[in-house]
Structure 1
Amino acid sequence: MKLSPNRQQGLTLISTLLLLGLIGFFVLLGVKVIPVYLDHSKVANALSALEKSGNIVEGQTEFEIRNNLAKRFNLNYVYDVTQDDIKITKYGSYLKVAIQYEVVKKLVGNLSVLAEFNDVIEVGQK
């Protein structure tokens, strides 16, 4: 009995299940990871808005800068950045604000995704 290639059609049940499992994994990965990057864009926007404000170097203390960032993060519902993640260096007319943080999201069981971010702005002359 000889089978012609014209009679062979479609996927087997196992192939279909494996394909659906692979698609499901990548959908789950996207659902968990995309919000992390959206929050990071909010952090980057807060830093750039802080950089564009005119009186940041001379007019504000370290506490005021931290308070300004905390208000922006609270307004945009960013909860991954803590005060310990913000490093502020100020010398006269030079200001450097660095935010370095990481986010861990559980996927399934003991499988997790780690995203590390490091954003820096520098204003003024050293």
Structure 2
Amino acid sequence: MRALCLLIVACFLSGCGALGFPGVYRIDVEQGNLVDQEMVDQLQPGMSRRQVRFILGTPLVEDPFNAARWDYPYVIRNGEEVIRKAQVTVRFDGDSLSEISGDYLPEWARDDAEPAAGDSSD
């Protein structure tokens, strides 16, 4: 009787994911908007919301209390292991793109932009 109870408890725990079966394949789960550097490089200051939506897609997070901010999070996991994670946030001034922050930035939005090759600050 005790062995039967332990077997039932083990089955319930394995169904909840507390115990894993060795060798079981776990699929990669993608969540969010896939945004890469090539897409972000197409953005220019002053673009309309419609143009930004065309390039990056519909934002995953569109805050109803702050309509000037769109968030594009992305994560890909295999079980509990995070394989890749990225975040891009765009901000608008009215209907014009004004700022980008996150893991991918166009050259015009980088703070650490290198001076041109011909420039010297001697």
TM-score by length of 1: 0.39
**Higher relative helix content:** 1
TM-score by length of 2: 0.40
